[in-house]
Amino acid sequence: MALRYGDDIIVLDAGMLFPDAELLGVDIVTPDFAYLEENREHVRALILTHGHEDHIGGIPFLLTQLNIPIYGTAFTLALVERRLEEHELLDDADLNRVKPGEKISIGPFSIEFIHVTHSIVSAMALAITTPLGVVIHTGDFKVDPTPTDNVLFDLHTLAEYGKRGVLLLLSDSTNVDRPGYTASERAVQPRFEEIFNRAERRIVVACFSSSIHRLQQILDLSAEMGRKVAFIGRSMLSATEIAHGLGLLHIPDNILLRPQDVMSAAPHKVAVVVSGTQGEPMSAMSRIAVDNHKNLSLERGDVVVHSARIIPGNEKSIGRMMNHIARRGAEVVAGSMSPPIHVSGHASQEELKLILNLVRPRYFVPIHGEYWQMSKHAAMASHLRSYGLEETFVLETGQSLEIDTRGARKGEKITVGRVCIDSGSIDEVVEDMVIRDRRHLSEDGFVIPIIAIDKHTGKCEGLPEIVSRGFVSFEEGSELMGSARQIVARTLETSSREERTDWGVMQEKIRADLKRYLNKQTQRRPLIMPVILEV
Amino acid sequence: MALRYGDDIIVLDAGMLFPDAELLGVDIVTPDFAYLEENREHVRALILTHGHEDHIGGIPFLLTQLNIPIYGTAFTLALVERRLEEHELLDDADLNRVKPGEKISIGPFSIEFIHVTHSIVSAMALAITTPLGVVIHTGDFKVDPTPTDNVLFDLHTLAEYGKRGVLLLLSDSTNVDRPGYTASERAVQPRFEEIFNRAERRIVVACFSSSIHRLQQILDLSAEMGRKVAFIGRSMLSATEIAHGLGLLHIPDNILLRPQDVMSAAPHKVAVVVSGTQGEPMSAMSRIAVDNHKNLSLERGDVVVHSARIIPGNEKSIGRMMNHIARRGAEVVAGSMSPPIHVSGHASQEELKLILNLVRPRYFVPIHGEYWQMSKHAAMASHLRSYGLEETFVLETGQSLEIDTRGARKGEKITVGRVCIDSGSIDEVVEDMVIRDRRHLSEDGFVIPIIAIDKHTGKCEGLPEIVSRGFVSFEEGSELMGSARQIVARTLETSSREERTDWGVMQEKIRADLKRYLNKQTQRRPLIMPVILEV
């Protein structure tokens, strides 16, 4: 999202997506930054609300195109640094730490950072004062009344802005379909206590490495119950190091156990915290599940706790991981239960209403959610009409909103889109056409007829060859293969001399005839790509 | 699942699966019936517990191999008939209706059908008396205390078997990770009342066509609130016809509205029930969402209710469908809420314990669920040791359990597996190798170098051609393509005369060299398949 006033643009967060199953062979998806590149001389800064991947994961790809100053909290920037280092972009980056309550000025914008509660620490909302009025961007949040670090959502500041008048509210819609209030991060405490009280051997917890709240609770409970704690997994080690260094994670004295000492310590004195909650094949938890990790081998009586949400699309791989864990004789604690083993970081309906009522903006744009969820969020604000709400807008990606002294309206459509990236390398952009081809290939494979034509006589040399994969068992000598070769030969024979001199025409005719034949025989539609070779 | 005593085998249910995203281009997955075919002279019958796809969907594929008698309730058999008709297998099928409480004898087995409550009507558990003792198979169930048809779970019969002594219990593990009790089918009533009370225009409900309980509630409420009801979608029309014909669905007088009359009736007098809850592209609901259905065009103020579970893997397509509905200005009611808009048909922990305690078997095998869920279910039975439980077994697919007068133990492993089917046709089996190729193609596409060799001189004619799709923008004239052709040419030149006469060796050398080069240049691993053409 970008905010523009006259010739000045600021960018709010720069995330990435994990691809749909349909984006075959694509590892990550970033926004297309074309609009920012076209306006490169106007882009002043990137402002970060928090450090989750869907808010910072696109930064390396943005910075290679536009090296603009970045503002965020110490923890958020530390996570950004790690990513920039991987891409060798850290040395040139202009990173600026801000604190909650701090105000910065960038061109016509004055930006105040407001502390909010979320599943990650150091999350901020933004109050952006512009010459036309104040824009409030909530970032991702829930209103946690009892956060584990006791740092409350700064509702006071939000209320003050609301009282003075807010032009536009942009608010998180992720959980708009959930009734009531989202549970506090502390709500998992009783479940962890129950597990720590009854477990007779190792306790292994898989959670997101950035869930510092969750890690703190496991550390504190382990200290209380006399277990040592080992962190396993690259991202887990780096996140705990960052959070500890910044004073955001308190590590009790003498509690840490080195990963290599896990198996030699008494099992009932050990808790292990592992990254890899989504069944990613190379993650520490997945490798432990198939007994392929050098530091931990699960045994009968161990308890493995899945303390994370299941990101849609990962159900099957997570299920497979849990099955492997159960096959090793360990108990799996996962799923919905009461008290819960995981709580969401996003606000439910009553919290969303609280924010709407505190801010009572003139215009409201729901953000962060599916279109149908944003529609629901927009409808939820209707009671604020008597408090000055003039209009709500549900915006598709690329749809701009224009506000001037006369009011707000949908503006021009900006060319945006997604950029598909393979292998996590900046250079490895995958074009849409390549993905379309992969999808076609993944459905029914390919069939390639190869025709050798004598350049002197213009005649076909022997029967056409056909190569194929992913279609059917379509081997040399099979009946279908034989008749397909006859079909191609017949197409060649029955074409006029004129057609035969135009290879484009011949390729198209062969493709069409072969497609009709194969589809009739098999009901499948492989990618057919005739090759004519002049010999 | 098959039960064998001596030389007699009965088969319990024959379902199908919808494929994982990884099974590219596969439409449905059925079991491999090889064991049954090998023992064809011993297979006596197929016994059905209920009519859901994962219990009857494999029947046409089984019947083409073994035309055995089938036993099930009238409703279950009616759904089977529909499938057999599609495959032109109905005329030869031997279908036998049974009623709850009825007993049949098949070889050494005496089978009693016991009514259970589930999301589909006419669901049965099986009490199978064998010379060694009684086997109880629960089928899929929940213990609904207030089913909409007032036909209660026959706990009495189950309890009697338990009192007399049960050798083996096989029980549904789907919801073993859910605490408490699954809500009654009636639990959705208050939510539907709330929607019917406030909706000012059309109410459109998407639900499973086999959810006769749900349909009955919508019909009754519509009658009460003065709305007419239209059924839209092929499976919805056929399921309601079957259920009505069997007296399982009561259709109030004058309530039905023909689909073609929906748009001309007053919007506040209409409820529409539509099939297609999973975002399947050709389903009625998906077509309505994109305004491509002849009978219904959504308008601002319509309420669309998603009253079904989201089958894992379908989150994205369902989300897209809901977004389209919201774009048309209709309100979407979906997700978790209280009172609920959908309830599960499977038993939660307390119900599972109730069944365990009533049956108190000597051996227990959890069925129907992921391995980790079945492990949890097995552990749940441990308190029954003082009531004669001797052992629990968690069985992988293909693992047999042997019971004789000395006791129970894991037996031989049967060759089983899955059969992948394309296009829903019985002939269209997709081999594992073809699926592996598709997966490879879907990741990074293909690169095919084509080398023409003169059959007289043994020399290569000109530079090799290369065709490619789904890899990179690897077009004629691109730098990468040019250097790849050079790589192939060099491999040819640097090969010995001996190597060059062996095409297998040459293909492998070209493949290896090109693979190394392309992987280094692009980090991708396309399928490489050299073709050597003798001209």
Contact A370 B319 (CB under 8 A): yes
Q: What angle do CA B367, B370, B372 make, to 5 degrees?
A: 100
Contact B179 A332 (CB under 8 A): no
Helices (H), B248-402: 284-289, 315-327, 349-359, 371-380
Plot region of A323 (φ>0 → left; ψ -120 to 50 → alpha; else → beta): alpha
A426 has a pLDDT exceeding 70: no
The pLDDT mean for chain B works out to: 92
What share of residues in chain B are helix, strand, coil (percent, to 5)? 35, 25, 40
B426 has a pLDDT exceeding 70: no
Of A22, A441, A462, the CB nearest to B445: A441
Contact B531 A470 (CB under 8 A): no
- Cα–Cα distance, B306 to B342 (Å, whole number): 8
Q: What angle do CA A111, A112, A115 make, to 5 degrees?
A: 140
Residues of B in contact with A535 (CB under 8 A): 452, 454, 461-462, 533, 535
Active-site option among B172, B302, B444, B513: B172
A472 has a pLDDT exceeding 70: yes
- Cα of A453 to nearest chain B Cα, Å: 9
B427 has a pLDDT exceeding 70: no
Which chain B residue has its CA at the smallest distance from A301's CA?
Answer: B379
Contact B335 A439 (CB under 8 A): no
Q: By percentage, how much of chain A surpasses pLDDT 70?
A: 97
A329 has a pLDDT exceeding 90: yes
Contact B470 A434 (CB under 8 A): yes
- Cα of A527 to nearest chain B Cα, Å: 9
Global pTM value: 0.85
Residue A8 or A497, more confident: A8
Task: Output the six-digit token pair for A103.
Answer: 């105000």
pLDDT tens-place string over residues B182-213: 999 999 999 999 999 999 999 999 999 999 99
ipTM: 0.82
Query: Which of A177, A328, A438 is the best mutation test for B, with the most CBs of B within 10 A?
Result: A438
Task: Check if the beta carbon of residue B419 is closer than 8 Å to that of residue B58.
Answer: no
Q: What is the pLDDT of residue A186?
A: 96
Cβ neighbours of residue A353 closer than 8 Å, sequence gap 6 or more: A380
Task: Check if the beta carbon of residue B212 is closer than 8 Å to that of residue B239.
Answer: yes
Cβ neighbours of residue B512 closer than 8 Å, sequence gap 6 or more: none
Q: What is the pLDDT of residue A415?
A: 82
Q: With cut-offs at 50, 70 and 90, classify the pLDDT of residue B492.
A: confident
- B405 reaches A (C-beta below 8 A): no
Task: Check if the beta carbon of residue A136 is closer than 8 Å to that of residue A125.
Answer: yes
Residues of B in contact with A433 (CB under 8 A): 473
Class of domain A104-182+344-413: alpha beta
CATH fold label, A445-534: Ubiquitin-like (UB roll) (3.10.20)
Of A433, A434, A533, the CB nearest to B533: A533
In this structure, whether the domain defined by A185-333 belongs to CATH 3.40.50.10710 is answered with yes
pLDDT tens-place string over residues A108-121: 999 999 999 999 99
Contact B323 A370 (CB under 8 A): yes
- Cα–Cα distance, B290 to B322 (Å, whole number): 10
- A479 reaches B (C-beta below 8 A): no
DSSP tag of B517:
H
The dihedrals phi and psi of A189, each to the nearest 5 degrees, come to: -55, -50
Q: With cut-offs at 50, 70 and 90, classify the pLDDT of residue A432.
A: confident
Which chain A residue has its CA at the smallest distance from B322's CA?
Answer: A372
pLDDT tens-place string over residues A123-165: 999 999 999 999 999 999 999 999 999 999 999 999 999 999 9
The domain ranges of chain A are: 104-182+344-413, 185-333, 445-534
Active-site option among B52, B55, B342, B346: B346
- Cα–Cα distance, A61 to A53 (Å, whole number): 13
- Cα of B482 to nearest chain A Cα, Å: 17
Contact B444 A25 (CB under 8 A): yes
Of B374, B443, B523, the CB nearest to A24: B443
- Cα–Cα distance, A107 to B271 (Å, whole number): 55
Task: Check if the beta carbon of residue A70 is closer than 8 Å to that of residue A36.
Answer: no
Contact B337 A371 (CB under 8 A): no
Residues of A in contact with B437 (CB under 8 A): 445, 469-470
Cis ω before A526 (30° cut-off from 0): no
Mean pLDDT of A492-502: 82
Mean pLDDT of B226-233: 97
Contact A442 B25 (CB under 8 A): yes
pLDDT tens-place string over residues A239-259: 999 999 999 999 999 999 999
Of B336, B441, B462, the CB nearest to A178: B336
Task: Output the six-digit token pair for B426.
Answer: 């019985």
Task: Output the six-digit token pair for A363.
Answer: 């215009």
- B395 reaches A (C-beta below 8 A): no
- B323 reaches A (C-beta below 8 A): yes
Q: What is the pLDDT of residue B428?
A: 64
Contact A423 B523 (CB under 8 A): yes
Contact A465 B533 (CB under 8 A): yes
Task: Check if the beta carbon of residue A437 is closer than 8 Å to that of residue B445.
Answer: yes
Residues of B in contact with A371 (CB under 8 A): 322-323, 326-327
- Cα of A146 to nearest chain B Cα, Å: 24
Which chain B residue has its CA at the smallest distance from A430's CA?
Answer: B472
Q: What is the pLDDT of residue A504?
A: 83
pLDDT tens-place string over residues A84-107: 998 899 999 999 999 999 999 999
Q: What is the pLDDT of residue A19?
A: 72
Contact B434 A522 (CB under 8 A): no
Annotation says B454 is catalytic: no
Q: With cut-offs at 50, 70 and 90, classify the pLDDT of residue A401.
A: very high
DSSP tag of A525:
-
Mean pLDDT of A48-63: 95
- A340 reaches B (C-beta below 8 A): no
Of A183, A203, A272, nearest in space to A236 by CA: A272
Q: What is the pLDDT of residue A321?
A: 96
The dihedrals phi and psi of B212, each to the nearest 5 degrees, come to: -60, -35
Task: Output the six-digit token pair for B424.
Answer: 């829903």
Q: What is the pLDDT of residue B19?
A: 72
Of B316, B374, B437, the CB nearest to A312: B316
**SS3 string of B377-423?**
HHHHHHHHHHHCCCEECCCCCCEEEEEECCEEEEEEECCCCEEEECC
Q: Tokens 């008396």 appear where?
A: B129
Contact B443 A438 (CB under 8 A): yes
- Cα of A173 to nearest chain B Cα, Å: 14
* Cβ pairs bridging A and B (under 8 Å): 214
Q: Tokens 């092929």 appear where?
A: B234
Q: What is the pLDDT of residue B21?
A: 67
Query: For A53-67, A271-285, A415-429, which range has the lowest pLDDT when averaged over its residues?
Result: A415-429
Q: With cut-offs at 50, 70 and 90, classify the pLDDT of residue B477.
A: low
- B397 reaches A (C-beta below 8 A): no
- Cα–Cα distance, B395 to B365 (Å, whole number): 7
- Cα–Cα distance, A135 to A185 (Å, whole number): 28
Task: Check if the beta carbon of residue B443 is closer than 8 Å to that of residue A27.
Answer: no
B493 has a pLDDT exceeding 70: yes
Annotation says B13 is catalytic: no
Q: By percentage, how much of chain B surpasses pLDDT 70?
A: 98
Query: Which of A26, A441, A451 is the best mutation test for B, with the most CBs of B within 10 A?
Result: A441
Mean pLDDT of B251-280: 96
Active site residues of A: 172, 346
Q: With cut-offs at 50, 70 and 90, classify the pLDDT of residue A535.
A: confident
Q: By percentage, how much of chain A surpasses pLDDT 90?
A: 74
Query: Which of A191, A349, A533, A534 is the best mutation test for B, with the most CBs of B within 10 A?
Result: A533
B516 has a pLDDT exceeding 70: yes
Residue ranges of A 294-313 with Cβ closer than 8 A to chain B? 312-313
Cβ neighbours of residue B303 closer than 8 Å, sequence gap 6 or more: B195, B199, B201, B202, B203, B204, B330, B331, B333
- B152 reaches A (C-beta below 8 A): no
Q: What is the pLDDT of residue A313?
A: 78
Of A312, A315, A434, the CB nearest to B472: A434
- A471 reaches B (C-beta below 8 A): yes
pLDDT tens-place string over residues A330-384: 999 998 888 999 999 999 999 999 999 999 999 999 999 999 999 999 999 999 9
Which chain B residue has its CA at the smallest distance from A334's CA?
Answer: B177
